[in-house]
Structures are given as structure tokens and as C-alpha cells.
Structure 1
Amino acid sequence: MIQNIKRWVWCLAGLIWASSLSAQPNLNRVEYYIDMDPGYGQATSIPFPPGPSLTNFALNLNPGSLTSGVHILGIRARDANGGWSLDNKWLFVKPYPADSTGPGPVPNLNKIEYYLDTDPGYGKATAIPFSPGTGVANAALNINPGSVTSGVHILCIRAQDANGRWSLDNKWLFARPYPSDSTGPGPAPNLSRVEYYLDTDPGYGKATAVAFTPGTNLANINININPSSLANGIHLLGIRAQDAKGDWSLDNKWLFARPYPADSTGPGPILNLTQIEYYFDKDPGFGKGIPVAINPVTNLPNFKLPINIAGLSAGVHILFIRSKNVNGAWSLDNKFNFAVSSAIAAPAIVVNSVSKKIICDKDTLMVSYQADGTYNTGNIFRVELSDANANFTAPKVIGSYTGTGNTTIICPLPDNLPIGNNYRVRVSSTNPVVTGVTGSDSLAIHVRPAIQTITGDSNVNVTLSYPYSVPAVAGSAWTWVAPAATITQTANSANLLWNIAGQQTIKVIQTDQFGCRADTSRKNVNVYALHLDSIKVSTLSICAGNSLVVTAKAFGAYKAGNVFTAQLSSATGSFTSPTTIGKDTANPVGNAQLVTIHATIPKTQALGTGYRIRITASSPVVTSADNGQNISINCVAAAITSLTASDSGHALFDRPAIEGNAILLYPNPAKDVSTLVFTAAAEEQYSVEVSDAVGKVLLVREGKSTIGQNLVSLNISNYAHGIYFVSLLDKVHGRRTLKLVKLE
């Protein structure tokens, strides 16, 4: 076996060498496993001299822990680049020990069982009584076929020996004969269920049940079906029954129709007209007549249409007019006969329609015209706008079309037109030069409302309502839009209940008494998910009368004058009647804003180990969860003495501690280690000095405090017993000193 492994290692090295034409990295690990691969790098490591190969490398394996039989040996290597070789695997056998005693005695059988058709599992079939022994030759087995249905079945028998081993199952096919039919089919069983479905079969037993009197048939039974939930049209009704034996009938199916309702409402709403055109005498085809500019409307009562008859011959003519609706359907042509007494020379240009008569500056209107005569290539039709007094001394061109035929020209109005009620338009051409007839319609132009400032909070909270407004203007209407809020509007003001956190936008659109719409007023609003979390305390063990720092992260927009309050629960963690232990006035705005409260446990507070602390806000009202950890109040604070070194050296005097600023050493006296405890309201640099009775500084510790309680461990195990002085220095409090007694 070892020789085989030697040959494998040599082959592996050869394969690694042959796999690349460049210099090979050294191997840095070789490992093997037996039978089960534990994963790369986790098999048994093989010591070896580093190098790119393992030629003739010997591996000794101790097979003592292996069971007799067949096993797998797997070996692989990893190079300095972290690349693994393929696993090389061999089957090998650990021989079974020589059998010098024979097979040994046959154990007794201790259980025999049988089953029919379905195996319930070893030990769960029907037990067969028998006399214990090593065999059951000629044992009889009586099986009652009464519970077995007619037809073919399987009988299976097996045995278990005293060692718990089971035999193979012995199986036989047998048949229980069908009874001879001497009595006919027998009585029909009662029906136990009748059900129906419409259109889609939900499955047997899942359709709608039909109430009925149990019996063998359902002659003349009525089923009432409410068709109100069905769509108009053809449907399928399926009915079936189940008898007391559980057998289902075939489905009986019928087609039926739910009638469409009678048309009692008329043809429905009239659709908007989008196009009107006319022509003379001969139809040029739909969409090719002389266009008429209109706004989409359902009808045009008393519509005045100037017609240009220049170029028509003297005599009788026919005017045809038709319209097209928004669905693209054309009306029938309306015909009017008229006579031209004498021909009018062309060319001539007449404005036949202007889409809007009341206009707002920066609006767009459509102007249609009828140009008779011949117009040359390159000709431009121009729509000209007069001044507010219908004067064309200095007309403004508001739209144009390059071409030779009739069309509708889209005309955007310029900004800052003077207000007026007597503007007119005309259409002129450039080739030939023709000045069109002034349109008969007077146009009123109004100034569009200015953008207004939306007044209201820019920083708000989800689930709360806030008022907003724009300046009121007589005769105006406003549309408020804020997808992230529920809006309750009253004219120029609205209350917005914010539903979604994030940066949101309010839009307000003003429409004045003339129908002129202002540009959209906008206000960006920061919406916050209001809550307090991450409640932390500077200590979980404190004496009544001592101070601690409570911090939290505030999310939301808090109003001026808001007060954060730290509340202490009962000793069982209940906030039914909380105790106020500290307050801080602040109105942070944003997410994860730090809230810091310097709190003091009342000296009269009962001792206990299950206290909790939470924080509330007053504007808006918010209550946090508690700090999530039990706080122990396990003592009542005594006065803490603080010592201050005098200018003369080390003459020390006692003074009462300032609550919240005291320092403490414990244990004191101490033998090996004493801990300095102090509280910081902010992060700051500090220095701790340990000096002996003559003022010699023996130890200096520097650090940066954290908000809340801070601990500095002082190792005094190497100091001689006696009196020492521990001083804490920081920018806020200067020097604070305590006496420390070192024990032997």
C-alpha cells in the first residue's frame, strides 16, 4: 500500500510539472483523507520538503482505526498561488480477520409480521404468534379476507431475529373472488350531494351545493340561480350528484344566455368634435376640404363661419360642411345652396375661424383660413395679430405656414401682451403678396396669473396634517396636487396629511375668472417618518440620587419649544406612571439626530433591578420604546468627596461633590487595581495622573471620553502601601483629585 502511495506521489508531481511551460510555484500543502472529504485545507496535512514536486515521497498510514472492508484514499496538493491539484483517489481493502470459529450460532427469531398490499413499515405490520426458535418451518397463518375487497392482493411476511435484523419480505399474490351476481345490481343508494357550477368546474365537491331531500333521484327539482354576477352573453351550467357510496354522476351541462340590457339610456355621451371642413360643389375627399379651426366641443350652436367666395363663377353653387369626432367618425355632409351674382376676382384670403376668442398670454390658438387664387412655390401664409384696438399698423406675426393651400396654423401668443378686448387677426401671403381680410371675431387677451408662493412647513412628519396656502384672488380657483399626501382643500388653502416619507412636492395651479391658468407653483417638502429610537443610557447600574446620560436618535421634524423628556419606569419595567428624570429643549429636523438628556435618579426612588428608560417628545407628541435593557438601582448615593490640590503643593481639602460632575474610585482602599469613574457630557480629551504623597507623578493615562459614564482602570499592584492621589484633568472641569489608599 505504501508503495502505491509512492507511485501516486511521483505521478502527481509529474502531472504538476507537465501542466505549465513556465516556472512552477512551490507546493505549500499536501493533505489526504480516507473515505470522506472534509473540504479543501481541512484534510490531514502531510509533512514534506517544499518544492514544485514530490518525487518518490513516502506516506505511512496507520489502518488501525479503519474497519475491515473497502475504503478510499484521497490525496491532493496546493501550490504557493493557492491553486489545488485534482484529487488522486485509490480504492484499498483492509482484510477481514481470519474466521477460526465459523459463522457462530443462529439467533432466535423474536417477531414475525405480515401485511396486505401496503407496507406500514418495519415493526408496524400485523404480528403473528409463534414459538421462538431459529426457524418457523410449516407454520400456519390464518388470514380473514372479510376486510379485503374482491380482486388481486399481495401478502407479505417477514421476520426479525434477536439481534434486531429483519429478513427479506416474502410476497405472494392472491385473489379474493368476486361474488356471483344472483340478485342483480341491488338497491340504488341515496344521493348525498348535488352541486352546480357556472362556466368553470372548480372540482368535485367544490362547486355550489344544492339543497335537496335525500333520495335516489331528483325528479322535478328546481334550482334557482342568481345571474346578477354574470356578464351578459353565453354561459355554461353544469350539475352533478354524488351518492352515499361516494360515486359521482356524469355532469349534466346546458348552455344559456344572459340577455344584454335593453338600451334605455340612449346612445351614451356625445363625443367631442375635433375637425370641421367644408368644400364647394365637388367633394375633394375626407380630410381634404377647407379646414375650420375649433376647440374640441360636442356641438357648435350658432357657429359663425365666414366663407370666401372669391374665384367662384357667377351662378348657383353648393356649400358642403362636415365634422369628425374624437373616434375618427365623420358626420354626414350638410348641404347649402347659394348663388353668386357676379364673380369676385381672386386672390383673396379670409380667416374663417379662430379656435379661441378669450385668450391668455402665452396661450396657443389655432387660426384657419380660406385662400382663393393661385399661390406660388415658396409662398408663406402668415397669421398677423393687431393691437388691442384692432389696428394693424404694426402687426405681430404669431404663426406661419409655407405652402400654397388652405390649412390651420398653430399660433403661440407672445409674452406680455397688453390686456385688451378688441384684438383681431388676419392672414397674408408672400407670393403673391396678398393682405388678407381682417377676421370678424374680436379677441380678448388677459394676463396669466403669476406663480404664487406656497406658505407652509417645509419639514413635516408622516401621519400628521399640515396647513398650506397661497394668496387668495377673487374669482380664481386652485388645484392642489401632492401624490404623497391626502389633501383636504378649501379654495386657496389646504390641509395635507402626509403618507409617504422622503422629499415630496406640492403643486398648486391657479385658474382665474377668465380661465387663464398660472404656471404651476411648487414647494419641496421633506417628509420624515417620525419616531425616536436607539435609546441608550450611560450606565445600567446606578445609585438613587446619582446622574446618568440618556441618548436617543430622533427622526422627524420637531417644532420650536419641543421638550424631550427622559422617563423612568417602575421597578418592573411598567410605564403606567413614569417618573420624569430629565429634560432637554430642542427641535431637531432630519434623520438620526442625536438627543442627549442629563438625567438624575431621584434619591427617593425605590431600589430594584427591572427599571427601564424611555424618551418622549412634546411637539409633535412621540414616545420611544424603552432602552431594551434592565437598569439596576441598587443603592442610595452618599456624598462623594472631591479633593483639589492647593497652589502650595499638596495641601488638600474636602468639598462636597457637584452632582453630575463627581468622580469616584472603587475599590478604595485597593490592593491591585482601582477604577476611576466619571461622567462626560461630550467627547473630550482627558488625562489621569497618579502621584505619591510628596507629589511625584507615578502614572499618566490619557484618552478621549465618551458621552456618559467612563471607566479608567489603574494598576497599583507594584506600588508600596500608603496614600496616593488620583487626579482627572479636562478642559471643562480642570483638575479633580481623589485620595487612594493602597493596601499591602
Structure 2
Amino acid sequence: MHKLLFSVFACFLSISVFSQSRLIRGEFYWDTDPGFGQGLALADLDSLQSIDSTLLINVVDLSPGNHVLYVRFKDDENNWSQSYAQNVMIAPENYNPGEEPKDVRKLEYYWDNGTPAQLSVNGVTDYEFTNEIPTNELGSGNHLLNYRVKDAYGFWSVWQSKSVFIDAEAPGINIAKIEYFIGSDPGLDMATSVSFTPVSSADVSAGFEALTAGLPQGQNIITIRAKDAEGNWSAFYRASFDNDDSYTLNAGTISPASFCAGAGISVPFTKTGEFDPDKNKFKLQLSDASGNNFTDLSTTVNGNNLQANLPEIINEGNGYKVRVVSTLPYMKSVSSTTLTIKTEPTGFMSGSQTITFGSSTTIYVNISGSLPATAVVAGQTYTINSTPHPINVSPTVTTHYPITSINNGCGTGSIVGGPVVITVPCPINITHGTGTLPSNIYQASNTIVSQKKAINTDLSYTAGKSIILSAGFEASGSKVFRAQIGSCF
């Protein structure tokens, strides 16, 4: 049930010059006048000359939105006062006054005395947004822009107005500088500069956070102005704001400073002032990899720490920033720690080719994601510090080199594609002179002749017609030597 609590003070003066009347009836009504004496009666006034009372009025039958409450009184000579009006906004059932303001959904505006037009706004949460409003049909001179916004509850704000000067004949001259100051004017070109985009245009956008450290307590005024490429300065834009230095909010250092995507993060913070736990929320915001464009993280408060999980899907980088934000009063503090965020790796092999028997070649491990990482290729483990990572190979037969696992400390990565294949055509004859052989496989379509020593190595000979082990050949140790007549594979 909707209810409204309001306070009324009424002082009724007699229409007679010589006497002062007493109040005998008071009544109220919503929006439309039902006629004298037909409104809802207030409490018995008992011939009072004034009333100061607090009343609880049932508003369950009113629809959500803006309404006008009227109150009037009748004296003992049956004269009615004028109706006293009060604007009242009735909230919907799901409205929670303790939560943050709902998203802005629509902007309604009109120029001068024109017809209102509406623009859709996509989910702006902090009531700070930029919209382009057409001025094509306006002539040169001063015009009045009237505007209001509607939130997700369907509530419209009050109308606001802004005076705008239109010079329809002037060519577009690029903006060269935007600056602001708080308090006293330091002089043209002496205030704090503001960056804007695009840098060479007559129509630019600028967003900045004004420096408020050291400002006096109470109301302050910020002034903004712009200069064009011909050195002409615009008129001032001024806005007032309250500075309450009894509130402070500071984000502490974060340790460690390197995280995997999706990992939990804890940020210490300190504060002074009485933050209302029913109306204020503390939250963490994460920047992009360049330290700009902060977005909210789902945050929980744990004592003097704010905790959240980093996004599962995020670009790797080493320039991330985190800031602590309070919603009432609205304050923010960026931690001095710069974060590195790593992502799970994805790997694939490249370098498939055909080589001649006895040649060497290079294959490559390619990794996207954070480095360093370890990769297992054809049973061998490699540390990957840069990509692509080269591996030199000297196969004696056609060989497959698959990547079977990859890891960079943020979990086991994914593998794309199949193995590299190095094709080695089978030679007709192979002759091994004296010396030792490493573990390997050799095959020839005709004959293999060997004087090599195979000591503690796995050695395999396959020939189509004959294998001749000449004087000096030796196979010993705990490994396997295999010789067979057969076709190349």
C-alpha cells in the first residue's frame, strides 16, 4: 500500500477588514477539483484560526507518477480559501528508495515553445551522458532548450532549461582548447586544460574529473570554457557543487598485482565520515588495459576490504587500474597499484613441409594468451617466452609433431589444429661410417650399411633388400636395437 506523509500549515485571513475568521473545515483532493465541500475532510478544526498538523494520507488508489495534492479551508462565514498545491510523485510497488537510481531510459526536450521530442537513452546508470540534439531548424540568436529525463521506473524528472546561442551563419571552426577552474578565474589560457576528442573538429566531446583537493568546505562553483582555432573564447558554463571534506575515501595498494582472468581480487580501503549503510554502496570498478574507462565489478564488503571477481573474458594487459567508489556521497579513489591480467593460452603448430633425408628444419609453436608458458611438443617440454617459438628438428623418416599440452599458470590452455608433419622421402641406400648414433629410426628402399655404435640408444634399421652390419658395429646397453627387412613406411 502506498502512503504519503506530509505536513500542512495554513493561516486563513478573513475577507472582512474588521474581523478575523475562524477555520471550521479543511479538505484535500488529488489532481482534479471535485467542487467545494466535496473533497476529503481533514480532522475537526474546532474553530481554529490556524492549523499545524501532520497527516497520513492513503494513496493506494493513485497510479505511479506525478500528481498534485490540493488543500483548502473554509471559515465560519462559509468563505473558502484558495487551494494550496503540492507536487507529489507516487512510486511503483517495486521502488526501493535505498538502492541506486535506476537507468535513464528517455530524454525529452523542446526548443523555445516548440513541440516536445523524445530520444532513447541506452541504460545510463550515473545520470551523466551525452546526446546530440538537432539544431538545424533554429535560426541565429538565443534559444531556450527545455529538457527532462525518464528512468526505468517510468519517473520523469522536473523540466530544466538552458540558454543556447545559435549562429546559423558561422562556419564550423575547430575547437583548440577546453579548460576549467573552480572559484577565482586565473585568466584566459591559465586554467586547467581538459582533453577532448576528436582533436581537430568543431564538434567535440570531453569528459573529465575535476580536481577538488584543497577546496573550501561548502558550495563551490566550477567554470568551463572553450577556445577555437582562431583564438576566440566561448561564453562560460558554470555549475555549483557542495564540497564536504568530512568524507574521505582512499583505495589501498593491491598485492599481488598479477591476476588471471576470472580470479578474485581484494582491495583494502579507508574512509572517514558516516556513510549511510541503507543508501550508500561501496563498489570496485576496473579500467581497460590502458587504465581508462572504468566499469563496475560485482562487489562484496569484507571489513576494510572490497572483494570481487575479475571478468572471465578480458583482454590480457599490464595497465589495468582498480578504483573504489561510494555512491552516497559519490566519491572515488584509484589504487596506486597497476595490475597485470593474464589469460589462458591457446596454442597451435606450424611449419609442415617436405625435406630430404639427412636435412634439418624448423617448426614453430604459436601461442595467443599470456607468456611465459610451457608447451609439450612430441613428448618434449619447452618454455615459451615469445611467439612463434622455433624448434629445430632433424627427422630421418616422416614424423608428426603434435602439441599435447600448454599451460601458463592460469590453467590448461586449448589446442587448435593438428600436428606439424615433416615428410622425409625414403632414400635408396644409407651408409653409416664409424662413430656413435643417437636414438633414431632409419629406413632405405634398398640397403643399409653400418659401422656405427649404438650404446644405450633405441635404434631401428629397416631396408627393402639388405642390412649389412660391418666390422666395428656395436649395439649394447639397456636400449633396443631393431633390424628388419621391409618397405619404407
TM above 0.5, yes or no, is no
For normalisation by structure 2, the TM-score amounts to 0.31
For normalisation by structure 1, the TM-score amounts to 0.22
